Amino acid sequence: MKITADVGRCVGAGQCVLTEPALFDQSEDDGTVIVLVDEPEGVLLDHAREAVRVCPSQAISLSG
């Protein structure tokens, strides 16, 4: 499974970073999402699913 982030949709709420800081970070400048690990596995994959669920702008998705 691969994480895709749409920076154009992102509103910088930081919910992904709160869910799993090993997978996501925020730009210092405008707060938008930075994906740190593209293809999470194991428990990190579960956390990525939770991040997708709580993202308020539906800017991150999992596919593949």
Partner 1 sequence: MTEAVRIRPEQFPLTRECPFSPPEEYRGLRDEAPIAKVRLVDDKWAWAITRHEDVRAVLSDPRFSADRTHPDFPMLTRGGRLRQEGDEKPLISMDAPEHGPARRAVLGEFTVRRMEALRPRIQEIVDERIDAMLAGPRPADLVRELSLPVPSLVICELLGVPYTDHEFFQAHTTTMISRMSSAEDRQKAFEAVQSYLRDLIVVKEGDAGEEDLLGRQILKGREDGTYRREALVAMAFLLLLAGHETTANMISLGTIALLENPDQLALVKADPSKTLSAVEELLRYFTIVDAATARRATEDVELGGVTIRAGEGVLALGFAANRDPEAFENPDDLDVERGARHHVAFGFGAHQCLGQNLARMELQIVVDTLFRRVPELALAQPVEELLFKDEAAIYGVHSLPVTW
Residues making contact with partner 1 (CB under 8 A): 11-15, 17-19, 21, 25-32, 50, 53-54, 56-58
Given the DSSP bridges, would you call strands 33-35 and 60-63 parallel, antiparallel or unpaired?
Answer: unpaired
Nearer to partner 1, 20 or 40 (CB): 20
- Reference 34, options 21, 25, 45; nearest CA is 25
Q: How far is the CB of 21 from partner 1 (least distance, A)?
A: 8
Beta carbons of 38 and 3 less than 8 angstroms apart: yes
- Cβ proximity to partner 1, 31 vs 64, nearer residue: 31
